[in-house]
Amino acid sequence: MTLESSVGEIKGVGEVLAKKFGQLGIKSVADLIDYYPRRYDDYSAISPTNSLHPGVVTIEAEIKQASGRYVRRGMHITEAIASDAVGSIRLIWFNQPYRVGSLKAGQKYFITGKYELSHQRFAIMNPAIELANEFPVNTARIVPIYRETKGLTSRQIRQALKQAMSLIESLVETLPTEVVNQYKLVDRSSALKTIHFPESDADLQAARYRLGFEEVFQLSLASLLNKQANLQQLAPPIMFNEKLAKTFVSELPFKLTNAQRAAIWQIYLDLQKPQPMNRLIEGDVGSGKTVVATMAALMALEQGWQVAFMAPTELLARQHADTIHKLLRPLGLETKVDLLVGSLSPAQKTKARAAVASGQAQFIVGTQALIQDKVDMHKLALIIVDEQHRFGVDQRKTLMSKAGHMPHVLSLTATPIPRSLALTVYGELDISIINIKPGGRLPIITKLVSPNSTKAVYQFVESELQAGRQIFVVCPLIKESDVIQANSAEKVYETLRTGVFKHWRIGLLHGKMKPSDKNQIMTDFVNHKLDILVSTTVIEVGVDVPNASVMLVEGPERFGLAQIHQLRGRVGRSHDQGYCYLMLSDSKQPSRRLKALESSSDGFKLAELDLEIRGPGAIYGTSQSGDLDLRIAKLSDTHLIAAARQAASQLIERQVNLLQYKQLMTNVTRLQSVTNLN
């Protein structure tokens, strides 16, 4: 048996069970070894039989006698007596008739089970039992618990791993020896053996640190190599025109913040270099990223180059196009802006593509329509990608290939990125942070609302509607679910439409609607043809409705902190006060993370708290999900992140030939293709 062998070749698995393993993504022995536990139960403390207390216990004892019998309704009961040097205890199994024949008198066993009263006598109920002279996998140790599927239990997964133990023990090291030694890491073989069968909590922590270190090390190495490769490319230098920049700023109807000024200056310095810019503008909701992006584009337009601005939704693309058009009008450059989205008629698309191909359209704003084969942007020098994490890597690369050369890339995100995440997944990017909001906007008032206070909130909403304002209502589900207890958008829509707000115009929006229908509903809300919009999180990013003053979030327990912060950023986008009410599902004490939303409007602090609470998990929520997820390392572990990042940097600085580490480079090459832009 080798690592490449089918899991079905493991003794005790077979064809039927192999299909069950396949449902968990486990097809080979290597997949099995790489399938980490989700938690552990500690049964390692062995107690004498005369000092047992109710609860789960482990003893080491001999089986003195065993018998089985059938009782009413065909139930079978197996009873045995287990004895050690200080006493005896009853063992009871239900509907396991094979137990009598499998128990050997006079043999010592490890026995783990729940010690409780049965017919007024204490006994260990349905215990796991293993010979004490063999390697235990279910008793007398810290026992791993895995994600299971119907017909496949953690016990069966552990048994299969036990059969693969010799392969685990012979695994070769994947990290450079100097890295293992310098950072005092346990070897890979020991780490994997321990992660599945830990001997102690200290050993388990050392194994988790080693495997987490390797995850972050590989991710950091991939992003740093991408950055190195990017700097070896050539891009058209775009020179800074001070007079043009000052003219643009002087015509703005507002004053730029210092954070915006710092960001645009960093961009201008990047654009003048012959190496392609790869910068991320990270700004909280409402911080003014579009103005910064337009100023970046200004220099390219003035020098005859084209700029492509790609947004994740058609509505957002249209809003950006309108904003950019207004910003460039005082300079007479508004005619250079064109829109290319899917809902345009065939004739409109043909006209727009012709304008792009001729160079008449220099600033092209659109959705994925920009990456179609028919679109010819041969003078493309700058790409701006809004909410870049919402696009797959391939989509962004296709847009870059339109230039025929390496263009400058400016990515925008309103999702605050914790520093640890920025150092790993976004390590190849230069990051500018806009952490100051434009003046005149009031902080959004956020309140947690118990079910008993719903009526009072609705009365306040009615007063806002009477004053001419609009309301968002966001739900975690589209339809009712038997599995998840939460209000759905469809249910809330019907309840409001036929009940307390039946005299107002209400719309329903969710992700399963046709794109044209979604766009129409959102456009109607923007144009105040609707007063209340009941929606799922499709309105989370970018939608600008200055007249909306209240955000009601149903079932906030089911959203991440960053997500709720994004949602409340949809209101309070004018000089009027914005409100966000988190409508709790029950009257229980709200969690620490939800309470944090009441007291903080700082998206960066909330992102760090969200990361700290959720631990390892999905880094992206788009097509890359799964490829970049950390299964062991916690992004809140700043010590591990810093150490692994430093190790990756040192390896590159020493110009080590990484091809000598075959397995490492296989993993790193895969990660290079799915991290940011390369």
Predicted confidence (pLDDT) per residue in 549-573, tens digit:
999 999 998 887 878 888 888 888 7
Give a yes or no: residue 219 inside a domain.
Answer: no
Closest by CA to 608, choosing from 637, 632, 580, is 637
Residue 537 clears pLDDT 50, i.e. is over it: yes
The string of DSSP codes covering 9-29 is: GSTTTHHHHHHHHHHTT--BH
Residues 124 and 267 in one domain: no
Give a yes or no: residue 561 inside a domain.
Answer: yes
Closest by CA to 544, choosing from 527, 563, 520, is 527
* Least confident among 53-62, 439-448, 538-547, 658-667: 538-547
CATH number, residue 405: 3.40.50.300
Give a yes or no: residue 342 inside a domain.
Answer: yes
Give a yes or no: residue 247 inside a domain.
Answer: no
Residues 470 and 592 in one domain: yes
Residue type for position 128 = A
Q: Which of 140, 156, 191 delimits the end of a domain?
A: 140
Residues 378 and 351 in one domain: yes
Q: Which residue has the higher pLDDT, 494 or 539?
A: 494
Q: How confident is the model at residue 508 (pLDDT cuts 50, 70, 90)?
A: very high
Residues 580 and 467 in one domain: yes
Residues 563 and 491 in one domain: yes
Give a yes or no: residue 187 inside a domain.
Answer: no
Give a yes or no: residue 609 inside a domain.
Answer: no
Q: Which of 392, 413, 434 delimits the end of a domain?
A: 413
Residue type for position 413 = T
CATH number, residue 152: 1.10.150
- Taking only the tens place, the pLDDT of each residue in 273-317 is 999 998 989 887 778 899 999 999 999 999 999 999 988 888 888
Residues 23 and 157 in one domain: yes
Task: Give the pLDDT of residue 369.
Answer: 81
Give a yes or no: residue 114 inside a domain.
Answer: yes
Residues 409 and 482 in one domain: no
277 vs 382: CA distance, rounded Å: 9
Residues 318 and 391 in one domain: yes
The number of domains in the chain is 4
pTM of the model: 0.76
327 vs 295: CA distance, rounded Å: 9
413 vs 429: CA distance, rounded Å: 13
213 vs 644: CA distance, rounded Å: 6
Residues 70 and 152 in one domain: no
Give a yes or no: residue 361 inside a domain.
Answer: yes
Residues 399 and 463 in one domain: no
Residues 105 and 125 in one domain: yes
Residues 10 and 123 in one domain: no
Residue 32, φ and ψ in degrees, nearest 5: -65, -45
Residue ranges making up the domain that contains 56: 45-140
* Least confident among 197-206, 242-251, 319-328, 633-642: 633-642
Give yes or no for a contact between 143 and 127, defined as CB atoms under 8 angstroms apart.
no
* Least confident among 93-102, 160-169, 315-324: 315-324
- Taking only the tens place, the pLDDT of each residue in 407-442 is 898 988 877 777 666 766 677 788 888 887 776 677
Task: Give the pLDDT of residue 419.
Answer: 67
